Amino acid sequence: MANKEYNLEDRFVEYSCRMIDVVESLPNTRAGNYIAGQLIKSCISPTFNYGEVQGAESRNDFIHKLGVVLKELKECRTALKIIRRKELIKPVKRIDAIFKETEELIAIIAKSIETAEKNKERLKK
């Protein structure tokens, strides 16, 4: 088994590409088009904003930019829930894997924010 280097930026790029496939699978209806328009912005935003996180100018800037990434991921999760509930993509299980990836990315970023906040407090003492 080859050792694969863990790269969160690459994971975000892959996430955005997979979410684009979700957007392209939505029906050409008023609801489908509206959700697609919202989702295309929120599914690519975490990737671009994660790039900004890497260039943060301070610990506070780092935490703020991670917060933006988290907010956009949560918007994606909500959109995926609507897509599932309304069965806008069939079979619904087609989006199970990307929903799971969304949850995992949310957990990673939330934990990163928590760690950064703790480190910030530790430095104040």
> pLDDT digits over 67-124, tens only?
999 999 999 999 999 999 999 999 999 999 999 999 999 999 999 999 999 998 887 7
> pLDDT digits over 25-47, tens only?
999 999 999 999 999 999 999 99
H helix or E strand, kind and range, residue 62: helix 59-85
Architecture of domain 8-119: Up-down Bundle (1.20)
What is this structure's pTM?
0.91
Q: Locate the domains of the chain by residue range.
A: 8-119
Distance CA 53, CA 62 (A): 6
